[in-house]
Chains A and B, each alone.
Chain A
Amino acid sequence: MAAVLPDQVLAVPVRRRALSTQPRRLPESTWGYLLILPAVLLVLGLILYPVVYSGWLSFHNKHAYLPIETFIGFSNFANMFGDGEFWRSIELGAIYGIGSVGLQIVVGVSAALLLNETFIGRTFIRGVALFPYMVPTVVVVILMKWILNDAYGVLPYILKTIGIGEDILWLDTTHVMLTVILISTWTFFPFVVIGTLARLQTIDPELYAAAKVDGAGVVRRFIHVTLPQLRNVLFVVILLRFMFMFTKFDVIWLLNGSSGVGYYTRTLPIYTYIKTFGQLQVGAGAAMSMFMFLMLVCFAMVYFRVFRRDEDI
């Protein structure tokens, strides 16, 4: 049947075959959009959606697991701003954040300076220095509770034996904030060590040699050579660590809970949790978390404005 058809008719399917063997090319821009689509979806789904949903909840009276959901405008925010416990939680969060970050920076930079020196067993010690950061928080807190317990803890026992600080009750209401800051410092200072040590290893030794020639001692070399070189790293590390510590939940919750002695470490994340899952007021909890989010954004902006120098970053 095909043999009797005219040539031009036969030619059509041939042309089609030729076309089908060549893949149709998408415009480059379309490819670009397609390739970033998974990332965009991830960002939208995992970051933007929770933030937007939290914002939506903050304008509602929403019970944690009952279908009670009433739009109440800014009432949650008004209640929050009129709640003394809320302001107290911010104050405690600031004390905890500033105290623990300050100590982490001091300890972390000091440790990095030591680990940057040459000595026998340096590699091993570097590994050991990172150990606290690798231990799960729950293990750290349980160990610390045992170590610090006034009835059977090893630290009070040692202090009593050597006659120093035997009256310190590490977990009582007077010292519990200091204790949680120290535990957090021990756990998280390796983060500072990693960043600082990496930067220290890239500082040009000639800078130190030149400073030495100019008569600079150890302290002046640290102030005029090392610190300026670390500035960019510390800028980022301080910003990140403060945001991490201000929103820190696990260490404080596991050590103290939210009440009793926990009253003295009831930071904003802890208070938000109590509002949401203790009092089951999800809307009120969402308002607090939105405030926390906006507050940290503002903090980051101010921090950048005050400390950032464009030519450095």
Chain B
Amino acid sequence: MRRILHTLPAAAALAAGMGLSTTSLAEDKVVTLWHTEPNPRTVAVMDATIAKYEAMNPGIKIKQEPIAWGNLDTKLQAALAAGAPPDASHGQAYVERSLSAKGLLVPVNAIYDSIGEDDLYDVVKRLNCHPDGNCYGIAHAVGTDLIVYRKDFYREAGLDPEKPAATWAEWLEQLKALTVDTDGDGKNDRFGLGLAGPGFFINEEVYMWTGSNGGRLFADNHRPTFTEAPVLEMLAFWKELADCCLAPDWLSHGYLDTFAMLATGKVASIYGWGRGTDYFEKYAPEAVDAGDIGIFPTKPIGPSGTEFLTQFDCEPWMVFKDGKHPQEAIDFLKFFYQPENYLPYIQSVPIHFFPIRKSMQADPAYLATAAFEKWGGWRDAQLNVIQNHDPKPLMITEWDDLELPFVQELASSGILIDMVTDVVDRDVSPTDAAARAQERAEELITQLGYKNW
């Protein structure tokens, strides 16, 4: 017993020492970062960067918390409502505009200065720098949404796998041909297109298809335009698409499910991002080796449109005024964008992430990224869209819409999603569904105090 009593203090001291070595001291400043890159490679790269930064800055601990995209908006809003935001977080461009308009963000011009404005693409500055000269966010990387498809299925259907559909009508014909019964039981088991069903992703299609149909979501006086012809045509197109070429339970399919379905042959094409390369290499290695995973460099245009609109992935880092250590967060982000830290981050998802630093595009180390050998075409297709087709951030059909302070609330309200599911799943006419959505959106904007018409 006495021996046990003697060893207890030593054990306690050892445990305390171990605790100190792995956790932060009470007096450490703990900087919390939320980001939307939960994949293990990116998390590991961030861990390495954090370790370097902490070694150089004793007394500061950086805590990263990866969060799925679809959950970020509501989690962030709940955290803000509770008065406990993180120090810095990724977010959509409209979220940055909404929060900065409400005075909840601190300018991050110091990060721009540390990179050097000449080394940044104009579009990066356009996204988050305001007319008053303050920048309230900075994209962690950029990328674009494109149609990813199986060339082997296109060939099986007698379609030219290198020829993207130019119009919605052409696209529908393609998708109908791609929707087939593969096992001969009389039921279709491969569908032309796979879409993700959670609301966040329905919002994506709503604004991209409306924009590709020459439409917009808001008028100059900020009033929603859901009852205008381009939106109604978009809804009618969606209904036709769902009836012919989407899996019957597509609304229950998650974003990653669509990658799995393309890899396993349940669908012939999806809307996808460059991060899908890992999925295909793992679950469809034969198709990858045969070069059967294709990327169309353009998207089809609706009957009222002249140019397609696709999503510009450009989530900015935002730093919160009510965070515990906003200045330390800015300091870490300056460190994050230094080339020796930023390059491994970009290379952790190399086909999805385009660096925001121009100089990196010519960096031999970046150009030597191994994934470019196999997936260079995907990267080039995105580059083409960024340079020639004016992609826009989520929910933004016109660049001026970035200034609207209520887009965040509208995006999270479910109103647009209900409008789509009313038509697609409940057989409500596009006119009636749009009218209902218009009424609800106007009511919401009025209640929020942003009515301007």
Contact = CB atoms under 8 A, between A and B. Distances in A.
Interface string A150-180: 1110000000000000000101110010000
Nearest to B70: A257
Interface string B261-273: 1001010000000
A128 B15 CA distance: 35
Nearest to B408: A280
B159 interface: no
Contacts of A260: 197-199, 202, 251-252, 417, 421
B406 to A, nearest CB: 9
A149 B253 CA distance: 8
**Most chain B beta-carbon neighbours within 10 Å: one of A149, A173, A257, A278:** A278
B251 A279 contact: no
Contacts of A259: 198-199, 202, 414, 417-418, 421
A216 B410 CA distance: 64
B196 to A, nearest CB: 9
A280 B198 contact: no
Given A151-B266, A260-B251, A278-B74, A64 B81 contact: yes
B251 A66 contact: no
Residue among A173, A258, A260, A274 with the most chain B CB within 10 A? Answer: A260
B257 interface: yes
A5 interface: no
Contact of A149 (B70, B198, B257, B425): B257
Interface string A252-283: 00001111111100000000001011111110
Given A259-B421, A277-B77, A169 B252 contact: yes
How many B residues touch the partner, as a band? 35 or more
Nearest to A173: B425
A176 B252 contact: yes
Given A151-B261, A171-B249, A280-B409, A258 B81 contact: no
B264 A151 contact: yes
B418 A279 contact: no
A68 interface: yes
Contacts of A279: 409, 412-413, 444, 448
A65 B251 contact: no
Interface string B135-161: 000000000000000000000000000
A61 interface: yes
Interface in B64-92: 70, 74, 77-78, 80-81, 83
A63 interface: yes
A63 B425 contact: no
B248 A152 contact: no
Given A151-B253, A172-B248, A263 B418 contact: yes
B77 A64 contact: yes
Contacts of B78: 277
Nearest to A65: B80
Which of B248, B249, B257, B444 has most A Cβ within 10 Å? Answer: B249
Contacts of A262: 199
A258 B252 contact: no
B43 interface: no
B449 interface: yes
A282 B409 CA distance: 12
A263 B421 contact: yes
Interface string B80-120: 11010000000000000000001010000000000000000
A260 B205 CA distance: 13
Interface in B391-417: 409, 412-414, 417
Contacts of B57: none
A130 B74 CA distance: 33
A274 B252 CA distance: 19
B22 interface: no
Given A152-B264, A278-B77, A280-B77, A172 B414 contact: no
Nearest to B447: A281
B197 to A, nearest CB: 4
Contacts of B264: 151-152
Nearest to B417: A259
Contacts of B261: 151
B229 interface: no
A260 B449 CA distance: 27
B386 interface: no
A279 to B, nearest CB: 5
A258 B421 CA distance: 12
A279 B74 CA distance: 10
B252 A172 contact: yes
B165 interface: no
Interface string A128-156: 00000000000000000100011110000
Given A169-B252, A172-B248, A257 B198 contact: yes
30 contacts: A63-B448, A65-B80, A65-B83, A65-B102, A68-B449, A151-B257, A151-B260, A151-B264, A152-B260, A169-B248, A169-B252, A171-B252, A172-B251, A172-B252, A173-B425, A257-B198, A257-B199, A259-B202, A259-B414, A260-B198, A260-B251, A260-B252, A260-B417, A263-B421, A274-B412, A277-B74, A277-B81, A278-B77, A279-B448, A280-B412
Across the A-B interface, the 4 shortest Cβ-Cβ residue pairs = A172-B249, A259-B199, A171-B252, A278-B412
Given A65-B81, A169-B252, 20 more contacts: A61-B447, A63-B448, A64-B80, A64-B81, A151-B257, A151-B260, A169-B249, A172-B252, A173-B249, A173-B252, A258-B199, A259-B414, A263-B421, A263-B425, A277-B78, A279-B412, A279-B448, A280-B81, A282-B81, A284-B447
